[in-house]
Every structure is written in C-alpha cells, then in structure tokens.
C-alpha cells in the first residue's frame, strides 16, 4: 500500500468512497480469500481485516483509480504477512520446486499434449475447482486474478509486486500445471489420451 498521502478526505468523502468504491467488491474479495485459505472463517477474517485496513489508509487511495486492485493488494499482503504466519504454512516451498521443474523447456508441451478442449468442456465444476485448488498458492493466485477476476497483467503486477514479465511467465506455468491436473481427470473420465511412446 502506498504510504504517500495524496490528500485528506472529509468524513463524507470517506464514507462515499468506502460505500461506493470499496464495498461493491466484497463478493470478489470473499471469493479470493476463500480460494487462498479454503476456510470460510479465515476468508471472513481476511476480508474484514482488509476492509478495516482500507478504511484506515483511505487517504492513500486515489479516488477514481482502481479500487478493486487496491483492495486485492491489501488482502494479498494480509494473507502473506498474517495468515500464512498464523497457520505456519511454509511459504513458497512447493512453488520453488515446481518453478525449477517448469523452467526446463521440454516438459511443457509433452505433459499437456493429450488434453482436448472437448474433454475440458465436459468436466464438472467440482473437478475444475479441485484442479485449481490443488495448485501451489502462487500459481493459483495468478489464475484467480486473471481468469476469475479479469485483472490485466499490469494490475496483477501491482497487486503481486512482481514485474509484468513474471506475471506472464507465471501464468503460463500455472496454466500448464492446471492442464496437467485436468488431464488426470480426463483420463479418469475414460477419454482416449493416446499414450503411445
């Protein structure tokens, strides 16, 4: 969150910004919180915490700029700084491993070449959701921000504090991993996956 205070809002302005620009995003915020924590109470805490911080730092929000991206950034930081610490989840352990693996170029296509668009279309919501949830949190996050919430790469770069190039490559890897999971479901569904070697 930017520490620069652009100006001070009056009490009426604060209320107007909070109700008009912040609260309409509560559904997306809760969905994001839930997909990060997989727990309704934790998601509620994260969202509540985010809105309280947003109110406290409202003077550093520039009216008319992207409130949703600003709020998502606060929620993401709260998740990293507080929730992960509380739950003693090791940060980035699985990510590092996966990142190294996927930096090797020849892995990419091989692993996903069997998955067909038709079999994806037939999948159930639960299967898609489980596949997404099974990804390491950094990969899951970029797919949520891009495909579920429709943020641009530039907005994602700001939310995640990473360069746009990293957004692009992380998304690409996240999608390869997601396809790998989906391919597992497709095989279970009995689709012919042409395994000839």
Partner 1 sequence: MEMNDNPSGERKMQCSDENRCFELLESILDGELQDSGKEVLKEKLAKCQPCFEHYHLEQAIRDVLKTKCTKHAVPTELADKIRQQIQEIK
Contact positions vs partner 1 (CB under 8 A):
11, 18, 23, 26-27, 30-31, 34, 40, 43-44, 47-48, 51-52, 55-56, 105, 108-109, 112, 115-118, 120-121, 123-125, 128-129, 132, 143, 146-148, 152-153, 168-169, 171-172, 175, 178-179, 182
Nearest approach, Cβ of residue 3 and partner 1 (Å): 20
* DSSP 3-state of 90: coil
Q: Which is nearer to partner 1, 54 or 73 (CB)?
A: 54
Listed residue (168, 89, 104, 103) closest to 136, CA to CA: 89
Task: Please state the closest distance from residue 23 (CB atom) to partner 1, in A.
Answer: 7
What number of residues does the chain have? 197
Displacement of CA 30 from its chain's centroid (Å): 12
Residues 6 or more apart whose CB falls under 8 angstroms from that of 175 comprise 143
Distance from C-alpha of 46 to C-alpha of 127, rounded to nearest angstrom: 26
Instruction: Give whichever of 67 and 132 is closer to partner 1, judged by the CB atom.
Output: 132
Residue 66 phi, psi (nearest 5): -75, 95
Q: From residue 57, give the alpha-carbon distance in Å to each of 15, 62, 161.
A: 13, 11, 19
Shortest distance (Å) from residue 53 CB to partner 1: 11
Return the number of the residue (115 or 159) whose C-beta is nearest partner 1.
115
What is the rounded CA–CA span in Å between residue 66 and residue 69?
Answer: 6
Q: How far is the CB of 158 from partner 1 (least distance, A)?
A: 15
Name the minimum Å distance from CB 92 to partner 1. 22
């Amino acid at each position: 969150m930017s520490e620069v205070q652009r100006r001070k809002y009056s009490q009426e302005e604060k209320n107007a910004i909070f109700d008009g620009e912040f609260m309409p995003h509560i559904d997306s915020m809760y969905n994001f919180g839930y997909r990060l924590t997989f727990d309704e109470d934790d998601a509620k805490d994260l969202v509540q915490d985010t809105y309280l911080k947003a109110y406290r730092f409202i003077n550093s929000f520039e009216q008319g700029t992207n409130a949703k991206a600003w709020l998502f950034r606060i929620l993401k930081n709260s998740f990293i700084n507080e929730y992960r610490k509380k739950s003693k989840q090791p940060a980035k352990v699985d990510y590092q491993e996966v990142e190294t693996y996927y930096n090797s170029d020849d892995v990419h296509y091989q692993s996903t070449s069997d998955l067909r668009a038709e079999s994806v279309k037939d999948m159930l919501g639960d299967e898609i959701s489980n596949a997404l949830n099974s990804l390491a949190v950094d990969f899951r996050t970029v797919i949520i921000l891009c495909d579920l919430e429709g943020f641009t790469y530039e907005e994602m770069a700001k939310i995640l504090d990473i360069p746009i190039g990293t957004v692009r490559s992380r998304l690409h890897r996240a999608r390869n991993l997601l396809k790998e999971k989906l391919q597992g479901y497709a095989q279970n569904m009995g689709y012919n996956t042409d395994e000839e070697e």
